[in-house]
Chain A
């Protein structure tokens, strides 16, 4: 499971960085989104991967760490998802404004 997740994060990061270095604003937006997915998965995995364990205290489960998964990364990832979602929306607005004002979708606003 760890290997699969690690490869997934690696592929997402690699694609994200590659797209980030491309000259078009759409590629920039998608690249940053992929990067934020990779980061979210990374945060999620930092508490250790576990199957079928709850992050929140449940009835009938002994209250010790062996029976629960770390809830902190889940809380962090929730915050990070919300923030990156909002920031992507903001970036889209700015890139649209840039497209409208400069007449090109190049990140520098000129084709040269």
Chain B
């Protein structure tokens, strides 16, 4: 049984890619209507995808990185998929967000336009593929799949703001894709390989020819990823796009910037975490991360709209992660992985909450002139307070409580305050960055800069969100209580609960994150798994052919 399971497990790796693709194809065959059937299919696919990513996550936890050859070609020639702790974790995160966003969309947003469900499945397919591929060019292909789906999803519901933001979003991403291709082909031209593991092995070999060309190629590639990760100055597309997108779509987009971060982490650690090129570009990543985080926090404080603040929160967390990667230390990266997961869940929940809040405010235009002076109230015996106004218990329905508490949780998570999980992530990063060096030298200015930015951004974020929270929740008491339907409330609660679980299980979760960073820096597990992947002997292709 165990051996059978062992031999079957690698095949599971294609499930998160093939499953949504087939489901999307099926949905396209169903035509434009039949939303309920498509919704059921979509949820079914998301549950299966979640189950298979969870299985992969458990599996790599036990056996380490594993590679899979979908075309059964020997390693550097064919397409290779590989899963390690980082990919499996990102996969799990993606599918959790997928289920929550689908459930949220089911109450109204999936009716805003046609083809929401197939596009959503393709989005999930592109994301899964980007996390699973072990080949730089396939990374490009999966990036394009997820971007193409995201263009469609961004325009879902149509309308002027979406189309206007869509033009910018598509144009910036196409230009970034051009840079991606230039970087990939330069690296191929110098090293002669596109396989990430082989690339890493070749760069570690010692004297590397054409060092400048590799640096240039890697830098151009990094610019493409930085544009996707919304690093300043390539982040001006983000706020209009995320605020105008339909809220469940924006909740899914919370993970899109993290794909850029994932690609940077993966390639930077594989190429520059050790060997003769060690540390290349770390200062650049730190600088861009710091500037992006600070400017995003300032943008948050400058805005009055919750949606803009949620989008700025995405940029703050992306900038923080870039800066953490730029510090170039294993321990910092470990805590950063933990922070990545919790901040993505938090941003996603925030986008869902923003929709509920904005709908509530928009529906509250009719306020009863003087509810307490009506004849019925005067006839009853009513307590009077100090100002001789009738003291009536204001209705405080569960939905108001839910939204208020969810907002508090989102604000704490976005600004990284205790007691929730992003605080633990930030604390982990800070304590790792401020750890006394071996030899007892003074802390580097980079560590101090990082500390200052992390704390400063937290403060700015907190001020901004507190102000908006007061304006939103503590004003205009005579307002209709919000109506939160179960399919909308549940995903919000689920995402926040996930953050809560991460907080409560911070010990084991942080251990996992540290182990992830350790294997990223160690690299041997990944390289050996990919380069050691064996071709399955086949009955139809005799050995003589090779």
Contact = CB atoms under 8 A, between A and B. Distances in A.
B103 interface: no
Interface string A7-38: 00000000000001000010010001001101
Consensus secondary structure, chain B interface: helix
B166 A94 contact: yes
Contacts of B166: 94, 97-98
B345 interface: no
Given A97-B158, A98-B164, A87 B177 contact: yes
Interface in A88-108: 90-91, 94-95, 97-98, 101-102, 107-108
Interface string A64-81: 000000001100100110
A38 B177 CA distance: 13
B18 to A, nearest CB: 19
B185 A42 contact: yes
B280 interface: no
Contact of B164 (A39, A72, A108): A108
Contacts of A35: 175, 178
A91 B185 CA distance: 24
Nearest to A33: B174
A91 B171 contact: yes
Contact of A107 (B137, B158, B167): B167
Interface string B194-216: 10000000000000000000000
A41 B74 CA distance: 29
Interface string B159-188: 110011011101100110110011011101
Interface of B: 137, 141, 144, 148, 151, 155, 158-160, 163-164, 166-168, 170-171, 174-175, 177-178, 181-182, 184-186, 188-189, 194
19 contacts: A20-B175, A32-B174, A36-B178, A42-B181, A42-B185, A73-B185, A76-B184, A79-B141, A83-B177, A84-B177, A90-B148, A94-B151, A94-B170, A97-B163, A98-B164, A98-B166, A101-B163, A107-B168, A109-B164
Interface of A: 20, 25, 28, 32, 35-36, 38-39, 42-43, 46-47, 72-73, 76, 79-80, 83-84, 86-87, 90-91, 94-95, 97-98, 101-102, 107-109
Given A98-B164, A98-B167, A107-B168, 4 more contacts: A25-B167, A28-B171, A32-B178, A109-B160
